[in-house]
Amino acid sequence: MTYHSSGISIDAVRLLSRIEQLGQIGRDGEDRLVRLAASDADKSGRDALVSWMKEADLEVAVDRIGNIFGIWRASSAEDQAPIMIGSHIDTVIDAGVYDGCYGVLSGLEVIQSLRSAGFVPSRPIVVAAFTNEEGVRYTPDMMGSLVYAGGLPVEEALASVGTDGTVLGEELARIGYAGSKEPGFLKPHAYVELHIEQGPVLEKAGVQVGAVENLQGISWQRITIEGVANHAGTTPMSLRADAGYAASRVISFLRDRAASSPTPTVATVGCISFEPNAVNIIPSRAVFTVDLRDPNEDRLQAEEAALADFLIELAAAEKVTIATERMARFTPVTFDRAIVKLVEAAAEQRGLSSMRMTSGAGHDAQMIARICPAAMIFVPSIGGISHNPREFTPEADLVAGANVLLDVVSQLASKQ
């Protein structure tokens, strides 16, 4: 594939202004950005996005899981599979303003800039905002794109009960985003997602653009350890069945194994609780989560097996019982090589440095990659900070990434 520059650039002022405006929607009484999926704040963010799509003269469609699509149908490309670009606009609690939103708003900006410049695509171009990528209020995360790709039945997803007891389908209807389109109604020709890195690799390397070639597999488990509650002062150490201590052994095992491995495997215990949770009582129960990630499926399976073996040994040694529950499991994704090369070529044409890299976080792109060629573009995150109000990417990098996206989309949407 021969690369030809589009010669077009995005409207930087418009893009940055919309990022700022969307970043103010969903602020709570403590000025935290909290725009959880299908909440009132999410409705306000969706309303703003839809208004901008309509300003851009796009056809707006919403599917049954609440995914929003802004569709540019060129008259000469009606019967062609579209180029899809996008991400999500729901947030975590006390979020930064870029995660997800940058990709959606850049996608919208790419379409507007191409149209304004008189670009004639050979196929439709669609910007998508997928529902519940973060998975804070409803699980699993990346839900909207997973349903769209056929990986989760829509009825099952709509029946999801949130952390606040609400039902997703009912909440989508309440906020006016229970659409009529069946998920998957547009099958993309290709999908490209622009995102802040959410890690320190690009900044540390002094590189401006990441051409994301693969994405780590993710294994989430919930582990429950049952011991015996007893008096903290009168029970000898040798006679304890201490669920809390057993949990600490698992945490140490995971940390030591990952830290000593030459592979990029990472392991995290992010949630933990003890019962009865009293200062002077040996814990009778410990419940905690384990997050394992690796870009290689064989290695990820090996880590899962090593943990399972350790839990069997631990249960016998500490006189406790241990149960595991799988919360989520996603295999690693290898992105489309041709699109990755287009990202590198676009960066070079713009005078930007680039590098190939792995995404350590999950993204909607990994779900859409199930149904079409896909890839991602990263721009630096200062300090690697994300899911945090201090999340920051300089304006120059935001604009550069959006221009690379524009060039890649123009290539994909041009007649070959």
- Domain extent for 324: 217-330
Cβ atoms 360, 324 nearer than 8 A: no
**Which of 330, 357, 381 is the last residue in one of the domains?**
330
CA-wise closest residue to 132 among 166, 172, 170: 172
* Residue 67 and residue 194 share a domain: yes
Other Cβ atoms closer than 10 A to 134: 22
For residue 361, with 0-12 CB atoms within 10 Å meaning exposed, 13-18 middle and 19 or more buried, which class applies? middle
278: exposed, middle or buried (C-beta count within 10 Å: 0-12, 13-18, 19+)? exposed
Q: Is 109 within a domain?
A: yes
Please report where in the chains the tokens 């999340």 appear, as a residue. Answer: 391
Q: Which of 258, 263, 246, 224 is nearest to 310 (CA)?
A: 246
State the pLDDT at residue 31: 96
**Based on the domain organization, do 284 and 378 belong to the same domain?**
no
pLDDT at 77: 61
For CA atoms 46, 214, 109, 82, give the dihedral sign.
Answer: negative
Q: Among 330, 347, 367, give the residue marking a domain's end.
A: 330
Total tally of structural domains belonging to the chain = 2
Torsion of CA 45, 50, 56, 58, to 10 degrees: 150
264 and 118 housed in the same domain: no
Q: CB 257: neighbour CB atoms within 10 A?
A: 15
Q: How many CA atoms lie within 13 A of 394 on its CB side?
A: 10
Quote the tokens at residue 20. Answer: 């700022």
Shared domain check, 319 and 372: no
Whole-Å CA distances, 398 to 14, 164, 179, 285? 12, 35, 31, 47
Do 315 and 193 share a structural domain? no
In this structure, are 47 and 155 located in the same domain?
yes
Query: For 47-136, where are the E strands, in sequence order?
Result: 59-62, 68-72, 83-87, 125-129
Smallest Cα–Cα separation from 146: which of 383, 15, 328? 328
Could you count the other beta carbons within 10 Å of the beta carbon of residue 394?
Answer: 11
Last residue of one domain, picked from the residues 330, 358, 377: 330
Q: Which residues on adjacent β-strands are paired with residue 183?
A: none
Strand pairing report for 266-268 and 217-226: unpaired
Query: DSSP readout, 11-49?
Result: -HHHHHHHHHHHHTTTB-TTS-BB--TTSHHHHHHHHHH
Find the CATH number of the domain harbouring 304: 3.30.70.360
Same domain, 166 and 248: no
CATH number where 25 lies: 3.40.630.10
Each residue's pLDDT, cut to its tens digit, for the chain (416 residues) gives 566 777 899 999 999 999 999 999 999 999 999 999 999 999 999 999 999 999 999 999 999 999 999 999 976 666 799 999 999 999 999 999 999 999 999 999 999 999 999 999 999 999 999 999 999 999 899 999 999 999 999 999 999 999 999 999 999 999 999 999 999 999 999 999 999 999 999 999 999 999 999 999 999 999 999 999 999 999 999 999 999 999 999 999 999 999 999 999 999 999 999 999 999 999 999 999 999 999 999 999 999 999 999 999 999 999 999 999 999 898 999 999 999 999 999 999 999 999 999 998 889 999 999 999 999 999 999 999 999 999 999 999 999 999 999 999 999 998 65
Residue at 5 is within a domain: no
CA distance 104 to 142: 15
Q: Based on the domain organization, do 37 and 167 belong to the same domain?
A: yes
| Cβ-contact 394, 199 below 8 angstroms | no
135 and 158 fall within a common domain: yes
Domain match, 404 and 350 both: yes
SS3 237: helix
Phi and psi, residue 209, nearest 5° = -135, 135
